[in-house]
Amino acid sequence: MSEGWWLWLTLFLIGGTTMLTRGSFIIPGERARLPPVAHRVLRYAPAAALAALIAPDLLLDDGALDPFNPKLLAGLLVIVIAWRSRNPWLPFILGMGALLAMRKLLGW
């Protein structure tokens, strides 16, 4: 019986925490505004989060740093293609093509 009580208490606290954190931006409305510096900093949050998710997969191979990792080489190719072209699909297509070619031809 006590396990069920702890489960409901945990779910209630998690839900309350979620409502408080999300509501803290909605409830004050126009009265509370973020300073311009915070707006500038928050513009980079999605790119930083994406880099934090992708960088370990590109840099590490089986938990060790490998400069000849095919994912790293394909990632560098994608960065160059994205930097030189404005086509949103070209880096994905050529990066995956390069990764598959390196794995197939070089046995990586």
Q: What is the pLDDT of residue 2?
A: 62
Query: What is the percentage of the chain residues whose pLDDT exceeds 70?
Result: 96
Q: pLDDT tens-digit profile of 63-100?
A: 888 887 888 888 888 889 989 998 889 998 998 998 89
- Cα end-to-end span (Å), the chain: 54
Whole-number Å distance between alpha carbons of 54 and 72: 10
Both tokens of residue 4? 């069920």
Both tokens of residue 81? 């293609």
Whole-number Å distance between alpha carbons of 43 and 50: 13
Strand pairing partners for 86? none
**Torsion angles phi and psi, residue 67, rounded to 5:** -70, -15
Q: What is the pLDDT of residue 108?
A: 65
Q: What is the pLDDT of residue 6?
A: 87
